A and B are shown apart, each in its own frame.
Chain A
Amino acid sequence: MAVVKTLLYLLVYPGLLFLFFYSTFAEWFDRKIYARMQNRIGPLHTGRSGLLQPIADFIKLMAKEDIVPEKADKGMFSALPVFALAIVCTAAMYIPLWHYQASKVTFNSFPGDLIVVVYLLSLPTLIFFLAGWHSSNFFSTIGGFRVLTMLFGYEVPLMLAVLSPAILAGSWRLVEIAQFYQGRPLLLLPNILGFVIALICLQAKLERVPFDIPHAETEIVGGTFTEYSGKKLAFFRLLSDIEMVVGAGLIAAVFMGGFPGGLIWGFIYFIIKTLIVIFLLAALRAATGRIRIDQMVHFSWHYLAPLAVLQLLITIIIKGFLL
């Protein structure tokens, strides 16, 4: 029975099948809200009001011709999208949806799994750099440099912002953090600053405007993905969507009180809370323009990192009062 449940967990919900369908739904939601903000319609004709559009895009890309440049390293070039997709799907396993027990340590919930999720989410950035490096194209190389430079900018504030609620809750385990805030919801308020910082850093991790510098379309054609086409590009785009869902799930679990209530209620809470986070990300995307790489690093070290340290300070002071 447990084996069946684990298999269901890995493959169906919240495993691969659910991730695939939910991330395409999240991409539809993001595109529709972005379009409505700009007074446009967004996806319309595929499926009812365009719901099947991201799946149609994925299928179209899978069916296109797959070109590998002559000078590129064939093995690395082809393997990198698959690695990245596997890494992000693994990170999704640790979001506390169901099949966990607060008292026992299981394979998907153990002390420190918060750090594991943040670490796994930063690996795709390294893979993007490798993808750009192995493409033997000038624009891809520049995209790869920019990806790593951005990593130096946003990773530290993200870590600090995500760790503050964990310090207040007194645990490194996502399930316990969520249960702590479910019990004392008022304590979510001091973490608002961390919430905003985490949102901005998540936007940078997902490489969306204002931080879509690595694949800035009007400057360096496609950035790291210039030479990718066909199935490999389909995997990279699916990777971005799944990363958005996992990042939104992480923020919802840490800053918004998690997904209590077992299978059905957990599912509903997950959908609502991640859609709220995705709505905020889409609003940020619509309301700003792209900034330059040097401005981004300046912004993150002059504003984001000090604010994250401030949030840490607030958390420590409040914890002092709690004890």
Chain B
Amino acid sequence: MMAEFKVPIGPQHPALKEPISLRMTFEGEIIKDADVRLGYNHRGIEKLAEQKTFIHNLYLTERICGICSHSHTTCYAQGVEKLMGIEPPKRGLYIRTLIAELERVHSHLLWLGVAGHEAGFDSFFMYTWRDREVVMDILEIISGNRVHYAMNALGGVRRDIDEVQRKKILDSLDLLIKRTGYYANIGTNEPTFVARLANVGVLSKQQAIDLCAVGPTMRASDISRDVRKDDPYAAYAELPFEVCTAATCDVLGRTIVRVKELFECYKMIEFMLKNLPAGEIRVKAPRRVKEAEVVSRYEAPRGENIHYIKSNGTDKPERLKVRAPTLANYPATLVMLKNGYIADIPLIFAAIDPCICCAERLVEMTDARSGETHVVTMDELRKRSVEHYRKVGISRKDAVWQL
């Protein structure tokens, strides 16, 4: 029997794109235990959202993440529109859904490349990212920027799609469909790649339900749940598409689910472009919102995204709470890592499509002198911060920004 090593993977590690600390116990090449520690990327977005108006928060929520930026801002905008009691026009909803599906395409192509890179298959990575540029160029033409599209307004969307852009997107779709088919073929037929994906990170159906996995991680364990079908928002009630599942419960299943979702996205984009309703793209929204609270759900490329917004009659929200999908997948990841090999860590972790900066909502306070840790509630944290800033002498009203 070999000795047990306690080793930290992260916060700095080539397998991770963002800092997170996985404290693992190894016995030889087998993982015996894993523990996760968050908080390295905490930016205080929820607190900042309480000090900015509803319009400002559209752009703040967008910057929670770069890859799934549109999902956060749409989830927020949907919630606030519910609070205000306004309903965006049909064309606005269609354009919002179009951007959402284009974002799903670019996110899944990015994931395919990252999976290839983690498995050492660098050529696959280069090719999928080269073809992802087609989608990024389309998004730049429609919205003015490659990431952080800023297409949402409270009450609809800000920019319209004209005939030239529509034609361009339809033409690029053919190229994308052909290339995605080719990658699906390579990904499932290259023996060295499949050997790394098959039977790795197994999560049985019952475990996935018990641990509340979301997104493709859950759908690869043969659970057919998707917010777009169960609780349709935006234009999804009128779009024909299917929920993609796989039955193998491992990383290969998650790859197959994402590739199938890519094909469904192409179908939806084509349908939306051919049936875009005419009309206005936005309605006017009030600046002040009466007291109410709302929960808004959205199917991000990584899973179910939940925003809880509470308003108090002014033009600033009382509370914004973001539950990103990766946060829900962490407990499932810890179970998947047990009894795997070291060589599987990057792939298992990459298979949940981690967007760690989305999920930074937890802060653990460690006493520097005694080394004890305890979790602090939001109210207590707020009390401590108010006291601290009063002591230091900076308050909001007369703050001078040095730069």
Q: Which residues of A approach B to under 8 Å, CB–CB? A: 37-40, 138, 142, 145, 209-210, 212-213, 216-221, 286-295
Contacts and interface: CB of A to CB of B under 8 A. Distances in A.
Among B15, B124, B192, chain A packs the most CB atoms within 10 A around the CB of B192
A169 B353 CA distance: 56
Contacts of B116: 289
Interface in B108-133: 116-124, 126-127, 130
A287 B5 contact: no
Contact of A219 (B15, B190, B193, B195): B15
Contacts of B119: 289-290
A221 B130 CA distance: 26
Nearest to B345: A219
A184 to B, nearest CB: 37
B122 A295 contact: no
Given A209-B122, A216-B120, 18 more contacts: A37-B123, A38-B126, A39-B127, A39-B130, A138-B7, A142-B342, A216-B343, A217-B14, A218-B15, A218-B346, A219-B15, A286-B122, A289-B192, A290-B121, A292-B196, A292-B341, A292-B343, A294-B341
Contact of B29 (A40, A142, A209, A212): A142
Contacts of A292: 195-196, 341, 343-344
Which 8 A/B pairs are nearest by Cβ-Cβ distance?
A290-B120, A289-B121, A38-B126, A289-B192, A218-B15, A289-B193, A288-B192, A292-B343
A217 B126 CA distance: 17
A38 B190 contact: no
Interface in B326-346: 341-346
A41 to B, nearest CB: 12
A218 B196 contact: no
B13 interface: yes
Given A287-B123, A288-B190, A289-B121, A213 B7 contact: no
B120 A38 contact: no
A199 B122 CA distance: 20
Nearest to B120: A290
A291 B195 contact: yes
B120 A209 contact: yes
A291 B127 contact: no
Interface in B1-27: 5, 7, 13-15
B123 A38 contact: yes
B339 to A, nearest CB: 14
13 contacts: A38-B126, A39-B126, A39-B130, A138-B7, A216-B343, A219-B343, A287-B123, A289-B120, A289-B121, A289-B124, A290-B121, A292-B195, A292-B344
Contacts of A210: 120, 192
B interface, how many residues as a size bin? 20 to 34
A221 B190 contact: no
A121 to B, nearest CB: 24
Among A39, A40, A218, A287, chain B packs the most CB atoms within 10 A around the CB of A218
B340 to A, nearest CB: 11
B14 A218 contact: yes
Contacts of A290: 119-121, 192, 196
A216 B13 CA distance: 12
A207 B117 CA distance: 17
Contacts of B29: 142, 145, 293
B303 to A, nearest CB: 23
A209 B15 CA distance: 17
Given A40-B126, A221-B13, A289 B342 contact: no
Contacts of B130: 39
Nearest to A292: B343
A310 to B, nearest CB: 21
A217 B15 CA distance: 8
B83 to A, nearest CB: 44
Nearest to B115: A289
Given A138-B7, A209-B122, A289-B190, A218 B117 contact: yes
A292 B191 CA distance: 12
Contacts of A39: 126-127, 130
Among A145, A219, A290, chain B packs the most CB atoms within 10 A around the CB of A219
B373 to A, nearest CB: 24
Interface in B192-240: 192-193, 195-196
A293 B121 CA distance: 16
A304 B334 CA distance: 37
B295 to A, nearest CB: 38
A38 to B, nearest CB: 4
Among A145, A213, A288, chain B packs the most CB atoms within 10 A around the CB of A288
Contacts of B14: 217-218, 221
Interface string B166-193: 0000000000000000000000001011
Contacts of B123: 37-38, 286-287
B113 to A, nearest CB: 12
A81 B5 CA distance: 28
A210 B194 CA distance: 13
Given A218-B15, A290-B119, A290-B121, A38 B342 contact: no
Given A40-B126, A221-B13, A288-B121, A295 B195 contact: yes
Contact of A220 (B5, B127, B192, B342): B342
